[in-house]
């Protein structure tokens, strides 16, 4: 549940009986709020909070981060590039902090499944905690495995999403793991990585190969008029995708 | 099912016994292919086709269009802005050609529901056909209604998505129709519309108000090197969103 | 002369006999360097400096700033939009910190002339000092005058450049002051200002009306590859222009 | 002189006595207009034309083109990057159609000089005609020479501007040809070229190394409101620059 006091002050936690540790708040006991419906207002530590069912963006904003996360604009477009929706079976590598894992789990829903690989146990641990906190533990299987050397071991996948530094090393294995008509999508920061990825997608016979980037520009609506914001994130990553046919 | 010959030559249809009309191909009888599994190869009219389970992008690309459609980058981000996922109850206005309807239906899945409003019966008809062709008819209710004057009549919505020329006229009604914690998101081409929408969102007490645009830049990976494509769509629309708290 | 120790440590001053005040360095005596040619290396306060003839960017970087300045990309394009080159007679309002004044003076050269208006004496003072320090004092006439109410009083101009909050109020006067074939160009941060400026340009009969913005994206070439920089200035201002025919 | 009937119908030519060939108009005799002042209105072939002193943009728009030309936004920024102004001595390679040559000549004015190299005589011929037509013949020396193999032979340059496919092959020679404090600037379409150029700039000891691109977005001010134009040029080229110190 999201306990929300204001846009900048909210806590995402599981309401349960007895004391629990809440980051930044120490040990707290929220037993009194268990069973309250979404929408209810409660008083906690002298302040009024609204109980809300958390949205995907609430969950992403409350992630513990150990790594740079894929931004929402890119994550949402990766879903589209990779044809991911309710019921999809998806492999992801690496797990990172679990931000993309969470977005994948949200998209595949109860009838889908996400296999999240990482060779670094400390990242898997963070990702697992984040995914569990978001309530998606049942939809995700975490696997400690270096897919660049050992490949993807899960067959009949609808999509493979790669957010790692050498995606080209995994593309052949991804091709084998995909169903016919399935997609692979990658996310990499440099043009050198993009170039090598696209060349490998083509040489492996992937079709519908695409590569692109998305720029997000916030708008400022103020008393002096409307204009783009002065601050902007100039770059996040390049997206590429292909389909096994 | 998608009958796919190549990236640029594919047909999206429902495989069924007996003759049927397929746009651009006249009356055809595909009875022989009924029951074939996804992935099978078939010969039709002298050419080899692959049967594939259609992805969301296949569906969007095969839409009959009567109106300009929301682009995938924008549609995907609207989902995020409006917190839409499996199980969401969403209202949309207007229906247009049903492109966004289809993306909403895909995202909410079998446990969700989309209410699609349009005051123009001819658009509703096209949207309905597109949504039915995509296999989402059970998830969508179409309603002929001018929401600017008559409001949204469906209560307890998780999200309201507005793709019409005067979204500000619908925001008060959207606020009433939303659950606490629900979101409204809008899509408009001009800054004037954006400005008026954001001002109205604020005056109605919506929180977490955001406004932005996304620019999509394709990359070209060729023998001479890698560079952004020379052609680019310079503008699609501005997105805005807010949350009822 | 530019005394340059490194990319981030340089001083722009006029080499002359006797003590002088140099900002950030107190009173110094550089008599020993007078007469040294560009390219010479000198020792000052224990460090080695190279004497260089200052470029336009050196001058812009060493400006004292009292106001936000027009960025180089925009200033350079304003020159193009307004058809400014060697020999042009140009009026500018407001003077601001004199950054654009300096760029205009650099472009019109010894055979041209810049008339720089501002209604705020304290800005005119800063602009005058900056322009003098850059060695362009002979090319520029500063005038304390509110052009929005009193108009531009200099006739037969090749170009008028407006960097003020209500450019539309000056366009009629600019039209009168221009020669046939002359240009007006404006620089404003909001859409609302741009819209009103363009509408006024059209209603006054200006032709070749254009409006645009420029986005500058730095590239990062590093050991890990090449990519756009993460930091970016999301917006500076909108440019508009028209021609009197 | 520019004979201008409307924004889209104008002719750039030298008014002189006797018949002359004007592209698209055959042989014409404009003797009657010789001596008319800028601003005068004349009747030619049944239509009214205004005589105007041509601006830089008039000249660029009336170029005969044999090659893709550097766009104005990029050309103007190259001037800034390379510190070019009245009096500068500049080398350029290659000449291409002479578009950049013309912009360089315009910027250096009567006291400057442009040396324009190309190894292809047919391009030099076009460039020479364009520069002569624009009235800048006295400021430019054309040289048939492959600077990649034979180097730049002109010493004491303030700036070297490279618009060719392998700029890195010319950077050492450019370094030798520059005065201390002089600049080199390059323009290339791919990331790969940019990367190699920047690496070479650094290994040769150039300082103040920069690399960037400019995106130009036109704005549409119409009766329905203001918005960015739908059409946009997605890419022109990457700019890089460095300074010899």
Confirm if A65 and A97 have CB atoms less than 8 A apart. Answer: yes
Cα(D41)–Cα(B71) distance, integer angstroms: 50
Is the CA virtual torsion C8, D89, D237, D233 positive or negative? positive
In chain C, what residues touch A168 (CB-CB under 8 Å)? none
Coil, helix or strand at residue C95: coil
> How confident is the model over A200-219, as pLDDT tens digits?
999 999 999 999 999 999 99
Does A57 touch chain B if contact means CB atoms closer than 8 Å?
yes
Other beta carbons within 10 angstroms of residue C137's beta carbon come to 14
Tell me, rounded to whole angstroms, the distance of Cα B221 from its chain centroid.
Answer: 30
Rounded-to-integer distance, Cα C215 and Cα C213, Å: 7
D42 by Cβ neighbours in 10 Å (0-12 / 13-18 / 19+) ranks as middle
- Alpha-carbon separation of residue D87 from D21, D113, D136, D156 (angstroms): 34, 7, 14, 13
Return the pLDDT at C50. 93
Q: Does C225 touch chain B (CB under 8 A)?
A: no
The reply to whether residue C73 touches residue D72, judged by beta carbons under 8 angstroms, is: no
- Let me know how long chain A is: 245
Q: What's the complex ipTM?
A: 0.93
What average pLDDT does this structure show over D188-210?
A: 97
Does C228 contact chain A (CB < 8 Å)? yes
Q: Contacts of residue D219 in chain A, CB cutoff 8 Å?
A: none
Q: Which of residues 173-192 of A touch C (CB under 8 A)?
A: 189-192
> Per DSSP, which regions of A53-173 are E strands?
89-93, 113-118, 140-144, 157-162
CATH class of the domain comprising C60-215+228-243:
alpha beta
Q: Does B154 touch chain A (CB under 8 A)?
A: no
Residues D13-70: pLDDT tens digits? Answer: 888 899 988 878 889 899 999 999 888 999 998 999 999 999 999 998 888 887 788 9
CA distance D94 to chain C (A): 22
Tokens in use for A227? Answer: 């204009």
If DSSP codes are grouped into helix, strand and coil, which group holds residue C218?
Answer: strand
pLDDT digit string (tens) for B167-176? 999 999 999 9
How many alpha carbons lie under 13 Å from residue D174 in its C-beta half-sphere? 35
**Residues of chain D above pLDDT 70, percent:** 100
Q: Give chain D's length.
A: 245
In the predicted model, what is the mean pLDDT of chain D? 94
Using an 8 Å CB-CB cutoff, list chain A residues near C231: 234
The H helix count followed by the E strand count for chain D is 7, 15
Helix (H, G, I), strand (E, B) or coil at D206: coil
SS3 state at A165: coil
Other beta carbons less than 10 A from residue D17's beta carbon? 11
| A191 and B220 Cβ atoms separated by less than 8 Å | no
Across the range D129-138, mean pLDDT stands at: 92
Question: Which of C81-99 are b and which e, b meaning 16 or more Cβ less than 10 Å from the residue's Cβ?
Answer: bbbbbbebbbbbbbbbbbb
- C96 in the Ramachandran plot: left (φ > 0), alpha (ψ -120 to 50) or beta? left
Per domain, the residue ranges of chain C are 2-30+38-54, 60-215+228-243
How far does the CA of residue A191 sit from the closest CA of chain D (Å)? 7
Rounded to a whole number of angstroms, the distance from the CA of C22 to the nearest CA of chain D is 22
- Residue C167, SS3 per DSSP: helix
Contact A107/B at CB under 8 A: yes
Beta carbons within 10 angstroms of residue B179's beta carbon? 17
D224 Cβ under 8 Å from any chain B Cβ: yes
What pLDDT shows up at residue D120? Answer: 96
Phi, psi of C71 (to 5 degrees): -70, 155
Using a CB–CB cutoff of 8 Å, tell me whether A230 touches chain C.
yes
Mean predicted confidence (pLDDT) in A160-187: 97
Calculate how close chain D gets to B34, using CA atoms only, in Å. 43
Q: A99-108 and A121-133 are packed helices; what angle lies between their axes, rounded to 10 degrees?
A: 50
The angle formed by the CA atoms of residues A174, A175 and A177, to the nearest 5 degrees, is: 65
| Radius of gyration over every alpha carbon of chain D, rounded to an integer in angstroms | 20
Chain C residue at shortest CA distance from D1: C181
Confidence (pTM): 0.93
Q: Model confidence over B44-90: pLDDT tens digits?
A: 989 999 999 999 999 988 888 877 889 999 999 999 999 999 999 99
Is residue A145 a contact partner of residue A128, using CB atoms and an 8 Å limit?
no
On average, the pLDDT of chain A sits at 94
pLDDT tens string, chain C, 245 residues long: the values are 899 999 888 988 888 899 988 878 889 899 999 999 888 999 998 999 999 999 999 998 888 887 788 999 999 999 999 999 999 999 999 999 999 999 999 999 999 999 999 999 999 999 999 999 888 999 999 999 999 999 999 999 999 999 999 999 999 999 999 999 999 999 999 999 999 999 999 999 999 999 999 999 999 999 989 999 999 999 999 999 999 99
**Do the chains contact at D228 and B235, CB–CB below 8 Å?**
yes
Beta bridge partners of D7: none
Can you give the pLDDT at residue D23?
A: 78
> Using omega within 30 degrees of 0 as the cis cutoff, is the peptide bond preceding A18 cis?
no
Residue pair C8/D149 in contact (Cβ under 8 Å)? The answer is no
Q: Cβ C191–A224 below 8 Å, yes or no?
A: no
The per-residue pLDDT for D215 is 98
Chains adjacent to B (≥3 CB pairs closer than 8 angstroms): A, C, D
The pLDDT, as a whole number, for residue B119 is: 97
Tell me how close the Cα of C162 comes to any Cα of chain A, in angstroms: 18
Residue D142 binned pLDDT confidence (cut-offs 50, 70, 90): very high
Kindly state the percentage of chain B with pLDDT values over 90: 80
| Chains in contact with A, counting 3 or more C-beta pairs less than 8 Å apart as contact | B, C, D
The stretch B94-99 carries a mean pLDDT of: 94
* Predicted local distance difference test score (pLDDT) of residue A23: 78
∠ CA B90-B94-B99, rounded to 5°: 80
- Chains in contact with C via at least 3 Cβ–Cβ pairs below 8 Å: A, B, D
More confident residue, C35 or A143: A143
The SS3 assignment for D202 reads helix
Backbone angles phi, psi at C238, to 5 degrees: -95, 140
CATH class of D60-215+232-243: alpha beta
pLDDT the model gives residue A234? 96
Looking at residue A79, its pLDDT comes to 97
Q: Report CB contact under 8 Å: C234, A217.
A: yes
Tell me what pLDDT residue B161 has.
98
Tell me if chain C has a CB within 8 Å of the CB of D45: no
d(CA B170, CA A223): 23
Tell me which residue of D111, D108, D109 sits closest to D90, measured CA to CA: D108
Span A83-111, average pLDDT: 95
* H runs (alpha helix) in C185-230: 191-203
> In this complex, which of D190, D228, D233 lies closest to B226 when CB atoms are compared?
D190
Of the candidates B164, B205, B160, B211, the one whose C-alpha atom is nearest the C-alpha of residue B182 is: B160
| Run of H or E residues at A227 | strand A225-228
Cβ neighbour number for residue A25 with a 10 Å cutoff: 12
Choose from D215, D226, D227, D242 for mutation: most chain C CBs within 10 A: D226
Report domain B60-216+228-243's class. alpha beta
Distance CA A86, CA A70 (A): 21
CB atoms C198 and D221 under 8 Å: yes
CATH H-level, domain A60-215+231-243: superfamily: Vaccinia Virus protein VP39 (3.40.50.150)
Q: Mutation test of the interface with chain D: which of C7, C109, C195, choosing the one with the most D Cβ atoms within 10 A?
A: C109
Amino acid B112: pLDDT: 96
Instruction: Give the mean pLDDT of D157-178.
Output: 98
- For the stretch A20-62, pLDDT in tens is 888 788 898 999 999 998 889 999 989 999 999 999 999 988 8
Both tokens of residue B152? 């949204």
- The rounded percent of chain D whose pLDDT value lies above 90 is 80
- Examine the pLDDT at D218 and tell me if it is beyond 90: yes
- CB of C107 closer than 8 Å to CB of C99: no
β-bridge pairing A157-162 and A89-93: parallel
Alpha helices in chain D (DSSP H): 56-61, 72-81, 99-108, 121-133, 147-150, 171-177, 191-203
For the beta sheet containing C47-52, the strands, ordered from the edge strand earlier in sequence to the opposite edge, are: C9-12, C2-6, C47-52, C41-44
Three-class DSSP category at C219: strand
pLDDT digits (tens, 9 = 90+) for B208-227: 999 999 999 999 999 989 99
CA distances from D104 to A159, A168, B85, D40, D61 (A): 53, 45, 57, 30, 16
DSSP-assigned letters across all residues of B138-182: GGEEEEE--HHHH-----SEEEEEE-SS-GGGGHHHHHHHEEEEE
Mutation target to probe the A interface, by most A beta carbons within 10 A, among B48, B54, B57, B167 is: B57
């Amino acid at each position: 549940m999201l306990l929300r006091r204001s846009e900048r002050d909210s806590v995402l936690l599981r309401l349960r009986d007895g004391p629990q540790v809440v980051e930044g708040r120490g040990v707290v006991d929220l037993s009194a709020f268990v069973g309250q419906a979404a929408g209810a207002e409660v008083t906690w530590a002298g302040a009024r909070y609204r109980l809300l069912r958390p949205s995907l963006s609430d969950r992403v904003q409350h992630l513990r981060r150990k790594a740079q996360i894929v931004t929402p604009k890119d994550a949402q477009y990766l879903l589209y590039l990779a044809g991911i929706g309710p019921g999809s079976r998806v492999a992801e590598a690496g797990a990172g902090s679990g931000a993309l894992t969470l977005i994948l789990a949200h998209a595949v829903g109860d009838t889908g499944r996400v296999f999240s690989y990482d060779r670094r146990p400390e990242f898997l641990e963070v990702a697992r905690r984040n995914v569990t906190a978001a309530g998606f533990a049942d939809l995700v299987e975490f696997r400690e495995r270096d897919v660049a050397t050992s490949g993807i071991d899960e067959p009949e996948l609808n999509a493979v999403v790669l957010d790692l530094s050498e995606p080209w090393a995994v593309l052949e294995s991804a091709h084998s793991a995909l169903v016919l008509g399935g997609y692979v999508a990658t996310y990499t920061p440099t043009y050198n990585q993009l170039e090598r990825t696209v060349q490998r997608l083509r040489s492996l016979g992937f079709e519908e190969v695409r590569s692109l980037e998305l720029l997000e520009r916030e708008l400022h609506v103020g008393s002096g008029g409307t204009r783009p914001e002065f601050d902007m994130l100039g770059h996040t990553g390049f997206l590429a995708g292909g389909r096994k046919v």
